[in-house]
């Protein structure tokens, strides 16, 4: 009886871990893709920045929830990896904030409500924003991407084990 209960609990943990880890991966990858696209687009100053930030923010809400659940599940077996997931998650948030700073600066001065700037002025705002925060945001993007890939690499072994545990179910009882 206790074996069945334990097997059921392990299966539930494995399923929760699989769900959270895949959704954590999708949210991180999504935010990284959005930030990478925005930081690499030289015509971003001609677009609406709200759409990109809104997409990233929706993914960040998901990321926060899945990262919290994953860390809780990982703390039992691999506290070091749980900490790494938390750090990677925080760095993704930091990247979004730096990307937002860059996008806001690209739009030009906000002290002139309703002002319309010509293409040359917008290009000047973009160039200044890139020098002030954009280059650092691009470097941060590369660093966070590398950190994310390394963390995901460590998680893949646990994901494989969780898949086996999930499929095992009550077979070993």
Asked, for residue 1, whether it belongs to a domain, the answer is no
Secondary structure in 3-state letters for 98-160: HHHHHHHHHCCCCCCCCCCCCHHHHHHHHHHHHHHHHHHHHHHHHHHHHHHHHHHHHHHHHHH
Asked, for residue 140, whether it belongs to a domain, the answer is yes
Structural domain count of the chain: 1
Report pLDDT for 126: 83
Report pLDDT for 4: 79
pTM of structure? 0.83
Domain range for residue 41?
7-103+119-168
> Domain holding 138: CATH number?
1.20.120
Report pLDDT for 13: 80
What is the arithmetic mean of pLDDT over 54-74? 92
Asked, for residue 109, whether it belongs to a domain, the answer is no
Mean pLDDT, the chain, rounded, equals 85
Give 91's pLDDT tier (boundaries 50, 70, 90).
very high
Asked, for residue 113, whether it belongs to a domain, the answer is no
């Amino acid at each position: 009886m206790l074996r069945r209960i334990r097997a059921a609990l392990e299966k539930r943990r494995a399923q929760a871990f699989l769900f959270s880890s895949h959704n954590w991966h999708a949210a991180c990858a999504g935010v990284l893709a959005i930030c990478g696209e925005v930081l690499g687009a030289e015509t971003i100053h001609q677009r609406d920045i709200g759409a990109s930030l809104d997409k990233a923010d929706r993914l960040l809400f998901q990321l926060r929830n899945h990262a919290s659940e994953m860390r809780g599940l990982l703390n039992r077996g691999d506290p070091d990896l749980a900490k790494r997931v938390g750090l990677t998650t925080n760095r993704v948030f930091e990247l979004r904030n730096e990307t937002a700073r860059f996008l806001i600066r690209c739009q030009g001065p906000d002290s002139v409500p309703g002002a319309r700037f010509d293409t040359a002025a917008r290009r000047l705002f973009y160039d200044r924003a890139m020098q002030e925060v954009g280059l650092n945001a691009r470097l941060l993007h590369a660093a966070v991407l590398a950190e994310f890939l390394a963390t995901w690499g460590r998680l893949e072994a646990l994901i494989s084990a969780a898949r086996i545990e999930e499929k095992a179910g009550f077979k070993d009882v």
